């Protein structure tokens, strides 16, 4: 499943980031394999989206989010 496919409020764990240049930029922003992410906001026309990674909030275009492979979490961080 890709990050562009999750629903509002869902949490997931990053499993892989595809694309060399994009992967480097995302790694620098904390989007690493094993990191928990949560979809927090969606722009009015559906693109971009805002995700929470740790204590940071990032905005990503759906095309970039589609290159991030995730696995949905079954627990909610308290």
CATH code (residue 25): 2.30.30.90
pLDDT at 20: 86
- C-alpha 17/C-alpha 75 separation (Å) is 22
* CB neighbour list of residue 7: distance below 8 Å, 6 or more residues apart: 39
pLDDT at 77: 53
Across 41-51, average pLDDT: 93
**With 90 as the cut, is the pLDDT of residue 52 above it?**
yes
**With 60 as the cut, is the pLDDT of residue 78 above it?**
no
Q: Is residue 78 part of a domain?
A: no
Share of the chain above pLDDT 90, in %: 67
Rounded to two decimals, the pTM is: 0.83
How does pLDDT run across 5-34, given as a tens digit for each residue?
A: 999 989 999 999 998 888 899 898 888 899
Q: Is residue 21 part of a domain?
A: yes
Q: Is residue 57 part of a domain?
A: yes
- Please count the structural domains in the chain: 1
Q: Is residue 46 part of a domain?
A: yes
Q: Is residue 16 part of a domain?
A: yes
The dihedral region occupied by 32, where left means phi > 0, alpha psi between -120 and 50, and beta the remainder, is beta
> Taking the chain, what is the end-to-end CA distance rounded to the nearest angstrom?
24
């Amino acid at each position: 499943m890709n990050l562009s496919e999750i629903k509002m409020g869902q949490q997931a764990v990053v499993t892989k980031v595809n694309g060399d240049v994009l992967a480097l930029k995302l790694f620098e922003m904390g989007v690493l394999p094993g990191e928990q992410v949560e979809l927090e906001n969606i722009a009015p026309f559906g693109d971009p989206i805002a995700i929470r990674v740790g204590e940071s909030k990032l905005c990503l275009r759906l095309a970039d989010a589609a290159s991030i492979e995730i696995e949905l979490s079954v627990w909610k961080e308290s």
